[in-house]
Amino acid sequence: MIREELVFVATCDISGHVRGKGFPARELPGRLKKGIGWTGSNLMMSPAGPIWDTPFGTAGDLMIVPDPGAEVRVDFGDGSAVEHFFLGDICTTDGKPWECCPRDFLHRAVVALEELGGPRIVAAFEQEFVYTGTDDRPGDAYALGAFRRQGNFGETFIAALRAAGVAPDSFLAEYGSRQFEVTVAPQPALTAADHAVITREMARATAFRLGHRAVFSPKTDPDGVGSGVHIHLSLWDGGGRPATYHAGEMMDLSKPAQHFCAGILHHMPAICAVTAPSPVSYLRLVPNRWAPTVIDIVRQDRGACLRVCPVFAAAGPMEVARQFNIEFRACDGAASPYLALGAIIFAGADGIRRSLPLPGPAAAPQSLPSTLGAALDHLSESEAALRWFGPTHLDAYLRFKRVEAEKGAGLSPAELCAHYAEIY
């Protein structure tokens, strides 16, 4: 059959979905400048599709302009259509970033930290998901048997990541039923978020070609463990030197790292509405599931909100400093990596700006919000979040998520899990 290659240009929006439009690949040179047509209300497409509420109506024109540095072209070699897409920025028709562009939100967070004279942030995403192309057997947690029985999925997925320009770090069978985890190499913030989006799409693209699904919903079984997105963060100075570690300081964290983490903890009730952004996210944040329930920072504890990670087999002090990182554990696959990492960086930058101290060891940690509605209340009351988002973007985000919270409140945990497993 005759075929002509297509290209897709996309954003990863409030719903965390990758949405955009396609065109013939031969039109690419022109499209690199003018992008594809978009509109404000496209941002308001709910996770399941319908627009519930929108401040933008049917008016207005925007475009998603592809970033040549965020191109993916992967030929799976099985005769299926080539996966060719670009991630891009939502711009106004004169080419300026639109005030509600999720990718620009992260870009602005990076700039805000830079303008403070703060460190650069390098991030690595560790993402968990359920692969439907394997069976569930007792004893499967981290098992070689489970690793083997996923068949060709793992190897094809890793090859696809590599072909997409994303360096895989590890792939494993996780603790949960049919659950797997992939970690990719650290990158500067914007590239790290692009790579997080690409990683999810490569998992889905691989599973699709094998007739199955990679499900990134935060929880697929009310009684099981959830799937988290853990974001490893490290600070680097302007000369490219590691700046997270300072031996002998509190938890061996440098002063800027302490303030950065204190900022995240301070704003956690509000940013939770962005990093754990769906009703089903809050079924994951429960005790004894390796997921956080309180707003804390703990050294080497996988139940913490911020985990100060260990350093492995470091040959010398420089290697210790290079490896040292903090893991943000209150994020999941319903979040747009741009919004989640942007909110974390804005919060950390605020901690640096105000020289916020870390809580002392005796301080009793506050609980994380226990519902999306409660997290949204904190977000709507946060003057800092209003500055980070700007009024139009924050209003759009809150309207979107308020309806999602209301709809979710009408569903039982089992119904929520089933519904979101179909969506993500």
Using CB under 6 A as the criterion, which residues of the chain lie in contact with ligand GLU when the complex forms? Answer: 128, 225-228, 284, 290-291, 302, 329
Question: Beta-strand (E) ranges in 222-308?
Answer: 229-236, 297-299, 306-308
Helical spans, DSSP H, in 291-371: 317-323, 337-353
Q: How far apart are the first and last CA of the chain?
A: 32
- C-beta of 228 vs 256, nearer to ligand GLU: 228
Instruction: Report what 56 binds from ligand GLU, Mg ion, none; CB cut-off 5-8 Å by kind.
Output: none
Residues 165-204: x where in contact with Mg ion by CB under 5 A, - otherwise, as a string: ----------------x-----------------------
Tell the smallest beta-carbon distance from residue 192 to Mg ion (Å): 17
- C-beta of 170 vs 355, nearer to ligand GLU: 170
- C-beta of 93 vs 370, nearer to ligand GLU: 370
Tell the smallest beta-carbon distance from residue 404 to ligand GLU (Å): 20
Q: Which two tokens stand for residue 314?
A: 């470091």
- C-beta of 228 vs 342, nearer to ligand GLU: 228
Q: Which residues have C-beta within 8 Å of that of residue 213, sequence separation ≥ 6? A: 131, 132, 133, 204, 207
Residue nearest to ligand GLU (CB): 228
- 332 is a contact residue toward Mg ion (CB under 5 A): no
- C-beta of 71 vs 332, nearer to ligand GLU: 332
Give rounded-to-5 percent helix, strand, coil for the chain: 40, 25, 40
367: left (phi over 0), alpha (psi -120 to 50) or beta: beta
Contact 342, 109 (CB under 8 A): yes
Instruction: Report what 373 binds from Mg ion, ligand GLU, none; CB cut-off 5-8 Å by kind.
Output: none
Instruction: Report what 290 binds from ligand GLU, Mg ion, none; CB cut-off 5-8 Å by kind.
Output: ligand GLU
- C-beta of 1 vs 144, nearer to ligand GLU: 144
Tell the smallest beta-carbon distance from residue 128 to Mg ion (Å): 5
Tell the smallest beta-carbon distance from residue 228 to Mg ion (Å): 7
Closest CA to 280 of 367, 370, 408: 408
Amino acid letter for position 383: E
Instruction: Report what 302 binds from Mg ion, ligand GLU, none; CB cut-off 5-8 Å by kind.
Output: ligand GLU
- C-beta of 83 vs 296, nearer to ligand GLU: 296
- C-beta of 195 vs 284, nearer to ligand GLU: 284
Q: Which residues have C-beta within 8 Å of that of residue 77, sequence separation ≥ 6? A: none
Phi, psi of 136 (to 5 degrees): -110, 120
Binding residues for Mg ion, rule CB under 5 A, total 1
Other beta carbons within 10 Å of 63: 24
Tell the smallest beta-carbon distance from residue 216 to ligand GLU (Å): 12
Tell the smallest beta-carbon distance from residue 230 to ligand GLU (Å): 6
Tell the smallest beta-carbon distance from residue 350 to ligand GLU (Å): 25
| H/E segment holding residue 184 | strand 179-184
Instruction: Report what 226 binds from ligand GLU, Mg ion, none; CB cut-off 5-8 Å by kind.
Output: ligand GLU
Instruction: Report what 71 binds from ligand GLU, Mg ion, none; CB cut-off 5-8 Å by kind.
Output: none
Tell the smallest beta-carbon distance from residue 421 to ligand GLU (Å): 15
Other beta carbons within 10 Å of 46: 18
Tell the smallest beta-carbon distance from residue 7 to ligand GLU (Å): 35
Phi, psi of 217 (to 5 degrees): -60, 140
Instruction: Report what 291 binds from Mg ion, ligand GLU, none; CB cut-off 5-8 Å by kind.
Output: ligand GLU
Q: How many residues does the chain have?
A: 424
Centroid of chain to Cα 224:
22
Q: Which residues have C-beta within 8 Å of that of residue 375, sequence separation ≥ 6? A: 269, 270, 272, 273, 276, 369
Contact 256, 384 (CB under 8 A): no
Residue nearest to Mg ion (CB): 181
Other beta carbons within 10 Å of 312: 8
Q: Which residues pair with 230 in a beta bridge?
A: 126
- C-beta of 332 vs 350, nearer to ligand GLU: 332
Residue ranges that bind Mg ion, judged by CB under 5 A = 181
